[in-house]
Amino acid sequence: MISTNDLRTGLTIEVDGEVYSVVDFQHVKPGKGAAFVRTKLKNMRTGGVVERTFRSAEKVSRAHIERKEMQYLYREGDSFVFMDNETYDQVSITEDQLGDNINYLKENMNIFILTYNDELMGIDLPHSVELEVTSAEPGVRGDTATGATKAATLETGLVIQVPLFVEEGEVIKVDTKTGDYLERA
């Protein structure tokens, strides 16, 4: 058990049988009455964000999320096969469990699998990944003054907006949190 005064961004807690990650917190001490902690919590199972207020010094259970490094091997139907780097055990994870993260997975890529009491909570991708542009329209000459962008399809099937100078066949870095173009690799 930890006090709500000790809540920090990224900490995982268990409230009402659900596992949450603290997205944002604010300690509030009003002029009148007792202090409280206002939080934004992300549900680790559903991905939904809720706002919750706790009394100051209220106790909550800490949820210990296990991070295990695994390597993405291949796709088999609607599931993705990962291998434990230490024991070489293989685990299949469905497309529904991965969500939008499948747009950033490349074969032989190392990621972290997040589990709580042997239940899959999700995966933790690196902050950016390098992906090849498989198709992009040629940039129109003279259109660069406005910082214009064009649509490009990447090797995983993800379509993002890239600057006009990016050509088909180039490898670019993509932010895995926002899906934005970062730079050429």
pLDDT at 2: 85
User: Of 14, 38, 62, at which residue does a domain stop?
Assistant: 62
In this structure, the answer to whether residues 140 and 177 fall within a common structural domain is yes
Residue range(s) defining the domain that contains residue 73: 66-124
Structurally, how many domains does the chain consist of?
Answer: 3
Q: Is pLDDT above 70 for 142?
A: no
What is the pLDDT, as a whole number, of residue 145?
A: 59
Residue 83 has pLDDT above 90, yes or no: yes
The CATH number linked to 22 is 2.30.30.30
72 and 115 in a single domain? The answer is yes
Instruction: Using CA atoms of 160, 164, 165, 169 in order, give the dihedral in degrees to the nearest 10.
Output: 40
> Do residues 156 and 120 share a domain?
no
- Residues 134, 167 share a domain: yes
Hey, CA dihedral for 115, 116, 119, 122, is it positive or negative? Answer: negative
Domain limit, last residue, from 62, 79, 114: 62
Tokens of 132: 């090849």
| Residue 90: CATH number of its domain | 2.40.50.140
- Clarify whether residues 117 and 143 are in a common domain: no
pLDDT digits (tens, 9 = 90+) for 110-128: 999 988 888 888 888 888 9
